[in-house]
Amino acid sequence: MSHAQPAVPGTQGDVASKDGGQSWFYTPEVKEHFFNPKNFVQGDEDVSRFNAVGKVGSPACGDELRVWLRVDPDTERIAEFKWKTFGCGSAIASTSMASVMVTENGGLTLEEARKLKPQDIMERLGGLPQRKFHCSVLCDKALRDAINDYYRRAEKFDRVVAEASRLVDPVSKVTDHDIEEAVLEGAHTLEQVQAKTKVGIGNPGVLPAVEDLIRFYREKYFGV
């Protein structure tokens, strides 16, 4: 009875080559942040000094991520960013890199951190394949959740940005968030999104709106 050989680091992995070739490999940046994650919460480390926390989960790969921020109340700059996740290597590397990006050079302000895009994290890592792109989105969403938490604690409710979902198909109960997740998981055509969500099946009148959302999320996350 034959057994499958394990993947060999350097030949198969989560990161595609920058030249777009067919070979796969871990970039030095991803290796560094995976094997030596920065700002990771160690064991029972005390997180009481932080004044904001964010949490998010991804149905795409079962990841769960929690981040803690220590924000200077006078400047609203992020002085510390700590995190913990139970997820894949790409999620670990993406969050580790994000923690560096928001705290380096004196730290980003909360509004500057809100503008951090998944593409920015990917660029610093040297690239991630489309099937792992949702990992960089995961830490981006957790960061925004923590920023909202800070503003709620500070009672600056006008600064909170809610991420509400909108019902797109009343028949299948599919929301714009469901379509966003489908695109992030690699469904980039109407047929692929329908296969994942069943949107518009039996209710074709919603399909133009669905196609508009697919184009919007493809451009937002993938630039195409």
Which residues are known catalytic residues?
61, 135
Ordered alpha helix ranges (H), the chain: 28-35, 89-103, 110-114, 118-125, 133-153, 176-184, 190-197, 207-222
Structure tokens at 77: 């700059």
| CB contact at 8 A, 201 and 194 | yes
Only one residue has tokens 């079962």, namely 62
| Torsion over CA: 94, 95, 100, 103 (sign) | positive
- CA pair distance 137, 119, nearest whole angstrom: 9
